[in-house]
Amino acid sequence: MNEAPMSIDKTIQLDDLQFELFLEKDQIKEAVKKIADQINQEYQGKEVLILGVLDGAFMVLSDLLKKLDLTISLELVKLKSYHGMESTGEVQKLLGLNSSLKDCEVIIVEDIIDTGQTLSYLLKLIKDQQPKSVKIASLLLKADVFNDQFPVDYVGFSIPDKFVVGYGMDYKGLGRQLKHIYIIKE
Ligand code: IMP
Ligand code: MG
């Protein structure tokens, strides 16, 4: 059954905070497609190990992987550095790697890079395993606060240093299911 198109909520409330619409699902879809096109071109004919960083990256992972025309294997790690809206300054590993990355062409997939701390930690962790190559894809990058300690090879959007939710990203555990991305209302 076809349903009438639903209108988009321009503002939403999650717990004690209000957020406003920032990136609509079609813009996100287009950005993910662009990243997929680049990866398909650069890795043509190769096997790629996608290393997804949970929890936030689950939506971008799902959409990106469906667009990759390559031989793909998937590994997931679960890292946590945020509490509410604050980076805690330390990274916790909640779920680790199951298989070795030795000689693999690895692409790390993130929802958002903020200070870069989480990925600095992950890069150190996987370097010991001697992957053949490591590249990084992130849907969002907070360019003004990023520590610049590693190259981000594929970026969907550079965004200001403001808290965002939706499309996998949460505030106090809420909002991950939203199709669009919302930014904190000041
Ligand atoms: P970093 O270690 O400072 O780069 O932070 C990276 C992680 O913190 C991301 O993978 C997210 O899980 C979380 N994070 C950073 N900024 C935001 C945000 O604006 N909204 C939701 N989660 C965020
Ligand atoms: Mg993340």
Predicted TM-score (pTM) above 0.75: yes
Which pLDDT score, from 0 to 100, does residue 141 have? 98
β 164-165/181-184 pair status: antiparallel
Averaged pLDDT in 10-residue chunks for the chain of 186 residues: 76 98 98 98 97 96 98 94 74 77 97 95 91 98 94 98 98 97 96
Q: Indicate the top mutation candidate among 78, 114, 162, 163 to test ligand 1's pocket, ranked by most ligand atoms within 8 A of CB.
A: 114
Residue 120 CB contacts under 8 Å (≥ 6 apart), including other chains: 147, 149, 150
Q: Count the neighbouring beta carbons within 10 Å of the beta carbon of residue 67.
A: 15
Which pLDDT score, from 0 to 100, does residue 177 have? 98
Q: Indicate the top mutation candidate among 169, 176, 183 to test ligand 1's pocket, ranked by most ligand atoms within 8 A of CB.
A: 169
182 lines ligand 1 (CB under 6 A): no
Alpha carbons 148 and 116: distance in angstroms, whole number:
7
Which pLDDT score, from 0 to 100, does residue 3 have? 65
Residue nearest to atom 20 of ligand 1 (CA): 164
Task: Give the phi and the psi of residue 135 in degrees, each rounded to 5.
Answer: -125, 165
